[in-house]
Amino acid sequence: KAGVTQTPRYLIKTRGQQVTLSCSPISGHRSVSWYQQTPGQGLQFLFEYFSETQRNKGNFPGRFSGRQFSNSRSEMNVSTLELGDSALYLCASKLTGSSYEQYFGPGTRLTVT
Amino acid sequence: TQLLEQSPQFLSIQEGENLTVYCNSSSVFSSLQWYRQEPGEGPVLLVTVVTGGEVKKLKRLTFQFGDARKDSSLHITAAQPGDTGLYLCAGVWDSGYSTLTFGKGTMLLVSP
């Protein structure tokens, strides 16, 4: 069974631009979560989607948004990029919203210049 | 805000040595997971523990969940260079639809 895939793997953007990242979960998994990882803050939860509905949201500004499609694929969008948004963005999927185990993709490395 | 403290933050050892890393919280976990992350990759799930006092083994790795479900440890026997990576613990404090909260990790470097 294929794992979680994320595209693109690497991205360089300029401050003020917007960016969209994509995540395809493991087949059959209906819950997708997004995380931001930085050296200083570690892994921080952004939001979780289940059956196309956002179920949980972390403490991030409204510039960070996401959505989930009927096939469980998910996208996250960051508008008006800031230098501090440079990070590894990780997507994780799990079977249901209450499942314990989640499986991570390789991440998208975003650099904002 | 529930915090999850990991220690040590960094560990550099020689091949063949044993080591233990710790994960602590002041709150009771519903479940706790350990992940290993290699540079440029996403975390890979190693184990999930849910019962107080539970011990799980994965080859040379032994995971223990505290009796009170507030802490956990990961012990590696005879470490190998392939064990090098960032070890992350992550906890869920409520059952159901709560999210995972991650510690900042222990960076392990095993030299040949």
Min Cα–Cα distance to chain A from B102, Å: 6
Question: Quick one: DSSP state of residue B100?
Answer: P
Phi and psi, residue B47, nearest 5°: -160, 155
A106: left (phi over 0), alpha (psi -120 to 50) or beta: alpha
Mean pLDDT value across residues B72-83: 97
Burial of A13 (0-12, 13-18, 19+ CB in 10 A): middle
Contacts of B1 (CB under 8 A, 6+ apart): none
Lowest mean pLDDT among A65-69, B70-74, B96-100: B96-100
Mean pLDDT rounded to a whole number for chain B = 91
Min Cα–Cα distance to chain A from B97, Å: 5
Structural contact between residues A37 and A46, judged by C-beta atoms closer than 8 angstroms: no
| Contact at CB, B99 and A58, closer than 8 angstroms | yes
Tokens 């003020």: give the residue. Answer: A16
Where does the pLDDT of residue B98 fall: very low under 50, low under 70, confident under 90, or very high at 90 and above? low
| Measured distance CA(B25)–CA(B31) in Å, rounded | 12
| Contact at CB, B43 and A90, closer than 8 angstroms | yes
Contacts of A36 (CB under 8 A, 6+ apart): A43, A44, A46, A60, A87, A88, A89, A90
**Chain B: residue whose CA lies nearest to A57:** B99
Mean pLDDT value across residues A79-104: 90
Interface of B with A in 60-89 (CB under 8 A): 88
Q: What is the percentage of chain A residues whose pLDDT exceeds 90?
A: 83
Mean pLDDT value across residues B52-77: 95
Tens of pLDDT, residue by residue over A46-71, are 999 999 999 889 999 999 999 999 99
- At residue A1, the pLDDT reads 65
Question: Quick one: DSSP state of residue B81?
Answer: G
- At residue B39, the pLDDT reads 87
Put simply, whether B99 touches A (Cβ < 8 Å) is yes
Q: What is the percentage of chain A residues whose pLDDT exceeds 70?
A: 97
Mean pLDDT value across residues B75-93: 94
Instruction: Identify all chain B residues contacting A106, using CB atoms and an 8 Å cutoff.
Output: 40-42
Instruction: Tell me which residue in B42, B101, B103 faces A104 most closely, judged by beta carbons.
Output: B42
Structural contact between residues A112 and A78, judged by C-beta atoms closer than 8 angstroms: no
Contacts of B47 (CB under 8 A, 6+ apart): B33, B34, B56, B58, B61, B63
